[in-house]
Amino acid sequence: MKKVRILSLLSVTALVTTVLVSVPVAANAAPMCDGKSPIQTCVGATSDGAPYAMQVPANFNGTVAMYSHGYRYNVDIPSAIPLIGGYKITNTPEPVPGGNAEVAKYFFSQGIAIMGSGFARQGWNLDSALKTNVELIDTFKKQFPATKKVIAWGSSLGGAITQGLTETHPELVSAAAPMCMATLEVDAELTMAGDFLWGLKTLFDPSIKAGNYSAGAAGVAESYADLGKVFTVMGKLQAGIATGAWPDTSSATGKALEAAGVPSRSALLLLGLIAGIPTQSAHFDSISGPTGALKLSFPLAVSPALAVLENGTNAAALAVLATQDVENQVGGAYFDNSKTDYSSRIESERVIFNAALSGNTVIDALLGALSAANPGAPRATGNAAAKAKLAALHHNTGKINIPTILMVGVADPITPAGGSQRVVDLYVEQYAAEKAAALKAYGSTKSYVAPINKLLMLWNTTPASYTKFSETGAPITSGPAAQGTNHCNFTTKQLMLVAKSLVQAANTGKLPSGGPIASAARKAGNLSVDKGIYIPLPKYYSGN
């Protein structure tokens, strides 16, 4: 079987081509503007030292769109580390997603300015980024007093920053779009990644530290070592997908399962399911099979494991980098699965993926091996003080205060679509409460004012089928990732739809709705506003 190309985590987005290299400016000083026309560029730094860039068209109409970039590594990644090596810490501002020139051009054509901050620290920075953005808005308004409205949008962690801004300072923003948003509670995302990394350590390579990293430079070095081990073990699992062979680094528990005839691909899939990793990935739809004898058996028994291989590599790398980052912030280990009941997490999945998991006997053996009762699978216990500090960090509530657009890939392996589903669920309750309040008010005023819908959910869906095979029946993984998969994998047409919808909402106070937005979503490609779509919530919300 042709090797699967393991995809890298959180590839750093291209910087805005229209923004000059940041000019060193004293923090909290007035912006330095070049005065050019038709687009004027201003740079500076907020009081916390975060560099920013503003671009204002000559026909500025009083609206500015502020973009918040996603998670960037807070450490340099040595070139020797596979897939993501050679990364250097950057805090360059990103006023539009990925430096998309078409999006910037659209805003300028409408007389709308753009801006963004590089933020004072990289890594998980929700608390500091919120303060930075509040100050950035104030700085822009002082520099351009004609400013009337602010549009806020962001991707990944930037989506969480955007949502946080609308919750804490709704008076500052007219419309918002948290795209591929990090979960409301960072714990949900860290739990997904942490569970999968713990599973890799427990079954496939016990030398992976998987958290509780040392402080300072020593902890950074430990995370580097873990990254190398994770990529190595995923490569070994990839090589053994067809045969079911286990990595030679497997633990005693893993080797016992191998001796009992448990295929490594079934163990890998189970780890993905207990963590909540999507079973559709960049190149595997879990539906298609090659022409011939494997037409039915490939999607049933192999494809879901290959999807977890692609997605799980991203999740495990996130777990390493984010764990070291967050542990450094909270002063110790926070991941704790000492009381997690993994069996109850997959009651439905064990039926759906029974063939790929090699049947009930194997499923029970795997769950038994991962049970807290097995001394060969020691659980992780978080530090109480560190867990308390994590809880004290900013957590979004999901409250929708202004017209808000969500967009996420249904098989995003980093910011699970279930996180956006959580917001949708909460808004159903919020809207019902607002409607009840309006009805109650009618009892005394005899004037019914219906609440306005303030949430538009755009699901970035996967194609009906997309796995491709060579003439020999091997899956082809050299092509681009399918829509709805990978992290924040949006097209220019999709981003343009969000941008245009934001402008409409800012101008009218109302989101596009009904047939027009449904039609626009279809034309943008692989987008749906279907209210019948329901994505399972992250496993964090299962209560175990």
Residues of the chain falling short of pLDDT 50? 1-23
- pLDDT value, residue 266: 98
- pLDDT value, residue 95: 97
**3-state DSSP assignment of residue 363:** helix
For 263-322, the pLDDT digits (tens) are: 999 999 999 999 999 999 999 999 999 999 999 999 999 999 999 999 999 888 888 999
CA distance 83 to 231: 8
Question: Token pair for residue 267?
Answer: 């163990």
For 245-254, the pLDDT digits (tens) are: 999 999 999 9
- pLDDT value, residue 10: 32
* Cβ neighbourhood burial of 257 (10 Å; 0-12, 13-18, 19+): buried
Which one, of 219, 68, 226, 213, lies nearest residue 155 by Cα?
Answer: 68
- pLDDT value, residue 25: 62
Residues 6+ apart with CB under 8 A from 216: none
- pLDDT value, residue 210: 96
- pLDDT value, residue 82: 80
Separation in Å, CA 318 to CA 205, 346, 410, 516: 17, 23, 19, 38
What's 27's DSSP letter?
T
